[in-house]
Amino acid sequence: MKRQNLLAVLAIAVCLPFAPASAQNLDAMTAAELLPLARKEGKVTVYAFTSRIAQIEKAFEAAYPGIDVVPLDISSTQMIARLKSEAQAGVMNADVAYVSDAPVVYTELVSKGLLLPYVPTDIAGRVPDEHEKPLLANRLSTKVLMYNEEANPNGPPVRNLWDLTKPEWKGKVVLVDPNLRGDYLDFMAEVVLRSAEMEKAYQAAFGKPFALDKSYKNAGEQWIAALWANGPVLVRNTDAVNDAVGKKGQASPPVGITTYSDRRDNAKENRALQVANAVEPAPGVLFPAYLGVVKGSKSPAAARLLIRFMIGDDSANGGPGFAPFYVPGDYATRTDIQQPKDAIPLDQFRAWRMDPVKTAGIRQDVSDFILSLK
């Protein structure tokens, strides 16, 4: 989709009415007003891109007895495909979608009316506008360069993204295949979008000015090609990255692209994952995690009550609805939720902030480019 057409689509999507008149009434209701309607519906089905939805299920059912949460843990890439296919079949199985991969959410779900925005009235004003439209985001997540801090107690073993293309890192960079997972593809697209920064980083890494190979369009493509030529280990899921990079007892572990907040499982999984925040020009990308009501939801009141729950209560840490995400590496979009004490403050976290419109405009080209390297 051309950028000018995409901008027009997004402008229309942002201005769309939230839903039919009956649902608009639900949008104006408080949680207390939604509750009896939600209990009458009896259940709410949520597709979520994180396994932490199981914790939300328990917490919500404890807070609202009589409403059954039916969760499905599914990657954003798979979820988007599933929502589209179910809509085409006229079978609406989900009520709520908790989804990342913003560029595709914009173009494939929001613009086609398959996912509807809902911002609780008492939350408006406590979330920056950029995280309320076209859908409400309850947090910002990441795909960033991580390393094993047990094996590297003095800090990350690389200082620059270009270091990953050097011989000493041949076969020692682990990531999920970007054409299997949208958030990894977004990482690569961001590198391309930040080509000017990648040129400067090249000089810092090699001590000489960047020279563009005529085979490539920009420094971002050249970095991707150099990384692929250095034999990265492509795996099928983020857990595999985390184990390869983070498991304790390794003398010379690889580095990998994964999720900063996965450090929360270090003790449980015997890992020593840490983010390489100082790497030049940036350790990776920061992106929104969206909550939306699925068009045709059979439990529209319970769907809204669940979204209200997941955006957090009025306590400093967001309470039980936000507890699974109140960890270092996840950043609440609500300005009144305090950051965890042992987290890198958001204003010091050096990951690039995604521009979904720009990313959507080049994403397919980047995907095709990566496929050409195999």
- CB contact set of 372 (below 8 Å; sequence gap of 6+): none
Mark whether 74 and 186 lie in a shared domain.
no
Residue 197 maps to a domain? yes
Mean pLDDT of 172-199: 96
Looking at the predicted structure, is the pLDDT value of residue 5 above 80?
A: no
* Pair (21, 145) in one structural domain: no
Q: What is the DSSP string of 189-254?
A: HHHHHTHHHHHHHHHHHHSS-----TTSSSHHHHHHHHHHHT--EEESSHHHHHHHHHBTT-SS--
| Contact indicator for 115, 295 with CB cutoff of 8 Å | yes
Does 2 or 80 have the greater pLDDT score?
Answer: 80
Q: What does the pLDDT read at residue 341?
A: 87
Q: Provide the 3-class DSSP secondary structure of residue 293.
A: strand
Mean pLDDT throughout 342-348? 93
At residue 124 the predicted structure's pLDDT band, cuts being 50, 70 and 90, is confident
Decide which of 240 and 8 is more confident. 240
Chain-centroid distance of CA 186 in Å reads: 9
If one counts the domains in the chain, the total is: 2
Other Cβ atoms less than 10 A from the Cβ of 160: the count is 19
Q: Which of 140-149, 227-236, 334-343 has the lowest mean pLDDT?
A: 334-343
Mean pLDDT of the chain: 93
Domain-embedded: residue 358: no
What does the alpha-carbon distance between residue 348 and residue 364 come to, in Å, rounded to a whole number?
31
Contacts of 147 (CB under 8 A, 6+ apart): 156, 157, 158, 245, 253, 255, 273, 274, 276
Shared domain for 217 and 314, answered yes or no, is no
Q: Is pLDDT at 10 greater than 60 in this prediction?
A: no
33 pLDDT tier (thresholds 50, 70, 90): very high
Residue of 126, 113, 125, 106 whose CA lies nearest to 16: 113
1, 261 contact by CB (below 8 A) = no
State mean pLDDT over 244-262. 97
pTM: 0.88
Mean pLDDT along residues 169-189: 96
Residue 2 has pLDDT above 60, yes or no: no
| Distance separating alpha carbons of residues 255 and 273, to the nearest angstrom | 9
Cα distance between residue 66 and residue 38, in whole Å: 9
Residues 200 and 173 in one domain: yes
Range of the domain at 98: 3-140+288-344
pLDDT in tens, 272-303: 999 999 999 999 999 999 999 999 999 999 99
Q: What is the pLDDT of residues 187-214, one digit of tens each?
A: 999 999 999 999 999 999 999 999 999 9
Q: Tell me the CATH number at 321.
A: 3.40.190.10
The two tokens of residue 260 are: 């900063």
Beta bridge partners of 48: 73, 98
Cα-flanking dihedrals φ and ψ of residue 330, to 5°?
-110, 140
Q: pLDDT band at residue 179, thresholds of 50, 70 and 90?
A: very high
- What are the angstrom distances between the C-alpha of 335 and each of 27, 74, 314, 316, 369? 22, 29, 11, 10, 39
Query: Does residue 357 lie in a domain region?
Result: no
Amino acid at 362: I
What tokens were used for 21? 């008149």
Looking at the fold, whether 152 and 226 belong to one and the same domain comes out as yes
Clarify whether residues 188 and 334 are in a common domain: no
pLDDT for 374 equals 73
Tell me if 354 is assigned to some domain: no
Whether 330 has a pLDDT exceeding 90, the answer reads yes
Q: What is the DSSP letter of 159?
A: S
Question: Quick check: is 355 in a domain?
Answer: no
Distance CA 11, CA 112 (A): 13
Residues 339 and 236 in one domain: no
Q: Would you put residue 350 in left (φ > 0), alpha (ψ -120 to 50) or beta?
A: alpha
In this structure, the number of other CB atoms found within 10 A of the CB of residue 70 comes to 14
Q: What is the pLDDT of residue 333?
A: 97
Model pLDDT, residue 184: 96
Task: Give, as one character, the DSSP assignment of residue 271.
Answer: B
- Does 368 lie in the same domain as 222? yes
153 lies in the same domain as 273: yes
> Is the pLDDT reported for residue 56 higher than 50?
yes
Mean pLDDT of 151-163: 97
CB burial string 203-216: b at 16+ within 10 A, e below: eebeeeebeeeeeb
Residue 103, token pair as written in the block: 């560029």
Is the same domain home to 223 and 74? Answer: no
Contacts of 45 (CB under 8 A, 6+ apart): 70, 71, 72, 93, 94, 95, 96, 299
What integer pLDDT is reported at residue 19 of this predicted model?
40
The verdict on 214 and 96 lying in the same domain is no
Residue 356 lies in a domain: no
User: Do 145 and 293 have their domain in common?
Assistant: no
Q: 310-319 contacts: CB < 8 A, separation 24 or more?
A: 310/56, 310/98, 310/138, 311/120, 311/123, 311/127, 311/136, 311/138, 312/138, 312/337
